[in-house]
Amino acid sequence: MAGPFGATSTTDEVLAGVDLSGKRILVTGVSAGLGVETARALAAHGAQVVGAARDLAKAHAATEEVRAQAANGGGLELVVLDLANLASVRACADTLKADGRPFDLVIANAGVMACPKGQTADGFETQFGTNHLGHFVLVNRIAALMKSGARLVNLASAGHRFADVDLEDPNFEHTPYGEFVAYGRSKTANILFAVEFDRRHKARGVRATAVHPGGIQTELGRHMTPEVMQQLMDNINTANAAANAPAFTFKTIPQGAATSVWSGVVAPAEEVGGLYCEDCHVAERVEDETLRGGVRAYALDPDRAKALWAKSEEMVGERF
């Protein structure tokens, strides 16, 4: 039963009565914000959580509450992962494969948002390289560890509506760079990756979905000035007013992480597989620019998803 959950539901409400004892779950980005809360909620319900982070010292300090609230055999271990460096991504995957224990759920939570133009260690545009390509390599390298019944949850965003992926110029070599255009491309890529991963793995019982956590004040917005944040809020509220929708309000971190755990362990797999979820439900496809909710059709296009997969393999130099 998926439950009567919505935009204000919290992780603890979504997981009420759920026993995750014996489940092993990978969560990336456990040094702050949604990653920490996601790990806390899962461990508190008995899951063995593997938390991945670039800075292990920061992650260890940030996850004290995760360890304190772990119950019913739940716990937390940490692994090093720098998504902006494919050598680190591959080393992390090798460590997990050498360990050999399978996963019931992988939550690709880590990411960057609206940062100045830059490059990853491998020369990719920072947001596409970190948010999409890093997770693309990690997840595909450990896919064999995801047993039948396992799920992949990619954290995308309503920001996918800023831009479709550009398979001709993913690194902005010929296109003027825009922080939110780049963010939009990377978030659309997160959704398309889930669509194609789901298609490739559902026959063996492994499903994938993408989620929008909602607007939350976390470290993700550290590159945004107060002026930029206010402009974004004004734009959203103008659109909301035009659509007779309520004014925008930020979610709490437990509310923001709720859709990740809902789609990962509560919602029926066949209802969320290959789709995009928000506010603890499957989002509708919308093209109306005045509506804040919903998912753009290009982000769920199966042919676009296959093309992105091929382009991603070409960029990282690996076939999966």
What whole-number percentage of the chain has pLDDT above 70? 88
Per the DSSP assignment, residues forming a β-bridge with 27 are 51, 107
**Residue 235 confidence (pLDDT):** 62
The answer, yes or no, to whether residue 246 has pLDDT greater than 80, is: no
- Identify the active-site residue in 177, 183, 276, 298: 183
Average pLDDT over residues 164-169: 98
- The packing angle between helices 179-201 and 302-316, to 10°, is 100
pLDDT in tens, 265-287: 999 999 999 999 999 999 999 98
Average pLDDT score over residue span 166-188: 97
pLDDT in tens, 54-72: 999 999 999 999 999 999 9
- pLDDT 10s digits, 182-210: 999 999 999 999 999 999 999 999 999 99
Among the listed residues 33, 45, 66, 65, the one whose alpha carbon sits nearest the alpha carbon of residue 155: 33
Alpha helices by DSSP H, 169-266: 179-201, 226-242, 253-256, 258-261
Q: Where are the domains of the chain?
A: 13-222+252-315
Tell whether pTM > 0.85.
yes
Q: What angle do CA 229, 112, 308 make, to 5 degrees?
A: 115
Sheet holding 48-53, edge to edge: 75-80, 48-53, 24-28, 103-108, 146-155, 207-212, 276-278, 281-282
CB atoms inside a 10 Å sphere around CB 299? 26
* 255, 10 Cβ separation under 8 angstroms: yes
Beta bridge partners of 282: 277
Q: Using one digit for the tens of pLDDT, what is the confidence trace for 1-39?
A: 456 899 999 999 999 999 999 999 999 999 999 999 999
Residue 293: the pLDDT is 85
Percent with pLDDT over 90 in the chain: 84
Nearest to 284 by CA among 107, 158, 152, 155: 158
Of the listed ranges 59-63, 88-92, 244-248, the one predicted with least confidence: 244-248
Inter-CA distances, 235 with 103, 226, 231, 243, Å: 41, 14, 6, 13
Q: Are 121 and 87 spatial neighbours (Cβ–Cβ below 8 Å)? A: yes
Q: Residue 1's pLDDT is what?
A: 41
Nearby residues of 53 by Cβ (< 8 Å), 6 or more positions away: 28, 29, 30, 31, 35, 59, 78, 80, 81, 110
Active site residue 183: yes
For residue 241, pLDDT beyond 80: no
Contact 260, 155 (CB under 8 A): yes
Where does residue 21 fall: left (phi above 0), alpha (psi -120 to 50 degrees), or beta otherwise? beta
Specify the pLDDT at position 249.
74
How much is the pLDDT for 287?
83
Average pLDDT value for the chain: 92
8 A C-beta contact, residue 142 and residue 103: yes
**Does position 170 have pLDDT exceeding 90, yes or no?**
yes
248 φ/ψ angles, rounded to the nearest 5 degrees: -65, 135
Report the SS3 class of residue 269. Answer: helix
121-136 pLDDT, tens digit each: 999 999 999 999 999 9
Total Cβ atoms within 10 A of residue 294: 17
pLDDT at 288: 77
**Fold annotation for 13-222+252-315:** Rossmann fold (3.40.50)
Average pLDDT over residues 169-177: 97
